[in-house]
Structure 1
Amino acid sequence: MNPYRDLPAERFWRKAVAGVPPFAIDPGPRDSFRIARTDRVATAGSCFAQRVSQALARGGFRYHVTEAAPEGMGAAEASARQYGTFSARYGNLYGPRQFVQLFDRAFGAFEPELKAWRREDGRFVDPFRPTIEPDGFGDEAAVIEARDHHLAQVRALFESLDVLVVTLGLTEGWRCRADGAALSLAPGVAGGRFDPEEVAFVNASTAEVIADVSGFLDRLWSVNAAARVILTVSPVPLIATYRDQHVLVANAHSKAVLRAAAGEVCERGDPRLAYFPSYEIITSHTHGGRYYEEDQRGIAEAGVAHVMRSFMASFSPGSVQRREPPSRVSEAEFAGTAGVVCDEETIERSLA
């Protein structure tokens, strides 16, 4: 007996990869839960999560936003202030510890000692979402007032969503030494002052990521037991590393840790949880690098289109064909990419 004899075609490289046109490769889950058009779908995570939310909205799904722009605010200002960028104005959540602490802050279980950062221009920003107000705040009190409103909307989001798409982006990050508060950017990049006595660089291990992802899921399900979660890993590389090694090596390490942790968490078999291979689709060598922009970091529209075809085929199979013939792939998919907010890019701008 050969144990491989009766396995389906998707288990074999020749049949599922080499024998399929690159744009038609579909490694998405087959037996996962389904998303209805009426489901409230939320997104959170790194900058790639924004591409998913944009595609969901274009696809006619109910993109769930609890922290919407104030009535009368123009579209350009709303975009600049990151209303609708994610389901609430939490900005980029790169590391799993940020998810845990966002939940704990929203539900009153954690109050960071750090309240605000002062910028070089004298304005103040929220250190946990430093780019959401381009003009900053007038004082620390205004930061706290906006934060309290924001956390109330986050609380409403977690309690009301039906599906949450989580994109894990980084293992590297910075935390306050006093209480372990996780930051999206190092002090001094978009506000504040860098002091190694106050903040520490961390690079989360696989075990830490597993613990944080599991901890966040347990928290979410404690207030919303029916919530379904789709876990992904961002294919967007690091813009910079603080580790003493080449950024290419650091990126490979970081993504490997996130992918291994995500796989281990999802393999526990909870029917409310699914892993979706955005990372694998974009980074696969079968596309010859066409799914990246010229900077080899930004994701081209062709890549996003491929990810979303597979996503819809997995979670809303009636909305698209699983295998699209070549004639159905539009040349427009290979055009430019939509604007995406990436806090990491502030690192390079701060050095200019």
Structure 2
Amino acid sequence: MPSDNPDRSQPPKAFWRRAIAERHYSDLEELWGPIPLTRSDRIATAGSCFAQHIGNNLQRRGATFLDLEPAPPVFADEAEARRFGFGVYSCRYGNIYTSRQLLQLFDEAFGHRTPTERVWGRDGRFFDALRPSVDPVGQEDAATVLALRGQHLGRVREMFRHLDLFVFTMGLTEGWEAVADGTMYPAAPGTICGSFDAEKYRFHNLRYGEILQDMQAFWERLKGVNPQARMLLTVSPVPLTTTATGGHVLTATTYSKSVLRAVAGDLAADHAEIGYFVGFEQRLQAD
């Protein structure tokens, strides 16, 4: 009989007791293989709220962080500017929670699609339906909203064409989309602005295959306009605030994060220029 087995040749990091159970979470090591970066690499961020912290930390450490829509000099301080969506991500798109939003933003920026419904109203004011959180007060008319969106999309195009590393935090599988053309919104109609109509909007909980297909399509499109681009994926550890699945928010959160983590891992395994950062795992261990 063989006197050895494959487990005996594994390093300490392969064993839960030695790598996790006997260590404080701050002492964990060898969790991932860092991607090479230089201070001149132009880094852009997008995704769920977790990505905000990544961008802020990169800036503090001297990285070349792209901010294509800086705040105009009309705000009292940085906090007020951030309330209007400035200085949060590399462009003023607000939170991009799902893979479908990311893909559709890219296609819209490069003229491949135009959402049927781009403007929502509230109390006589008008808002960008694809980024309603970046303008708390809205605009006087829909034409202004569309003009501002056109300027924004120009900055998004510039970002994708010139970045060296795109950091995207995958946040949710759940979203609300337009029945007419499948446009997925960052918030359900009626929560920030607009109004809900069950005949116009439907709930969509993206499955593994859909998210993988979205991300692969985005990656191909990004490389098409920017061949040197690399991508670093993270998964937000922040639980769902609410779920529209009809199930318990705990099981909905577990499903969402598990699927996103699986997609991120497979993309990183299949593409040498896509990496995965373990912020999700470290947060779980800390909790």
Please say whether Structure 1 and Structure 2 have the same fold, judged by a TM-score greater than 0.5.
yes
CA deviations on 1:127-174 (whole Å, 9 max, x unpaired) are: 000011111111100100000000000000001111111100000001
**Partner Cα distance (2:66, 2:76) in 1:** 20
Q: Distance between the aligned counterparts of 1:171 and 1:52, measured in 2? A: 21
Matched, 1:248 2:250: yes
Post-superposition Cα deviations, 1:101-127, rounded to whole Å, max 9, x if no partner, equal: 0000000001001020001x2111000
1:167·1:234 contact (CA, 8 Å) conserved in 2? yes
Q: How many residues align?
A: 283
Q: How far does residue 245 in structure 1 lie from its aligned partner after superposition?
A: 1.2
Task: State the shift of 1:219 in Å.
Answer: 1.0
Residue aligning to 2:45: 43
Q: Aligned residue for 1:123? A: 125
Separation (CA, whole Å) in 1 of partners of 2:72 and 2:25 = 44
What residue number does 2:21 align with? 18
Q: Which residue of 2 aligns with 1:273?
A: 274
Residue 202 of structure 1 corresponds to which residue in structure 2?
A: 204
Residue 160 of structure 2 aligns to a residue whose secondary structure is helix
Matched, 1:136 2:138: yes
Select which of 115, 118, 137 maps to 1:112.
115
Match of 1:82 among 70, 82, 85: 85
- Aligned equivalents of 1:191 and 1:37: distance in 2? 40
3-state DSSP of counterpart to 1:36:
coil
Q: Does 1:5 align with 2:8?
A: yes
1:170 alignment partner, SS class: coil
Matched, 1:235 2:214: no
Amino acid of the residue matched to residue 19 of structure 1? E
Give 1:55's match in structure 2, choosing from 54, 57, 61.
57
How far is 1:21 from its partner? 2.1
Kindly indicate whether the alpha-carbon contact (under 8 Å) linking 1:45 and 1:93 is maintained by their aligned counterparts in 2.
Answer: yes
Secondary structure at the counterpart of residue 132 of structure 2:
coil
Are the counterparts in 2 of residues 172 and 202 from structure 1 also a CA contact under 8 Å? yes
Q: Which amino acid aligns with 2:100?
A: R
TM-score computed with the length of structure 2 as normaliser: 0.95
Are 2:105 and 1:91 equivalent residues in the alignment?
no
Question: The residue matched to 1:267 in structure 2 has which SS?
Answer: helix
C-alpha distance in 1, partners of 2:98/2:202? 15
Whether 1:177 aligns to 2:197 is: no
Asked if 1 retains the 8 angstrom alpha-carbon contact of 2:25 and 2:282, the reply is: no
After superposing the two structures, state which structure 1 stretch, 70-79 or 146-155, moved more.
Answer: 70-79
Distance 1:225 1:71 in 2: 35
**Structure-to-structure mapping, 1:203-222, within 5 angstroms:** 203-222=205-224
Q: Higher relative contact order by CA 8 Å / sep ≥ 6: 1 or 2?
A: 1
Deviation at residue 83 of structure 1 after TM alignment: 0.9
Q: Which amino acid aligns with 2:107?
A: D
CA contact (8 A) 1:226 1:272 kept: no
Identify unmatched segments of 5+ residues in structure 2: none
Determine helix, strand or coil for the equivalent of 2:6: coil
Shift of 1:19: 2.8
- The residue aligned with 1:29 is 32
Distance 1:183 1:90 in 2: 12
Segments of structure 1 that go 5 or more residues without pairing to the other structure are: 290-352
* Partners of 2:264 and 2:72 in 1: CA distance: 36
Percent identity (aligned): 43
Task: Quote the offset at 1:28 in angstroms.
Answer: 3.2
Shift of 1:271: 1.9
- For the aligned residue pairs, the C-alpha RMSD in angstroms reads 1.4
CA deviation digits over 1:283-336, x for unaligned, max 9?
12xx3x2xxxxxxxxxxxxxxxxxxxxxxxxxxxxxxxxxxxxxxxxxxxxxxx
Alignment partners' CA distance in 2, 1:278 and 1:43:
15
Cα deviation, 1:236-256, whole Å, max 9, x if unaligned, reads 000000111111111111111
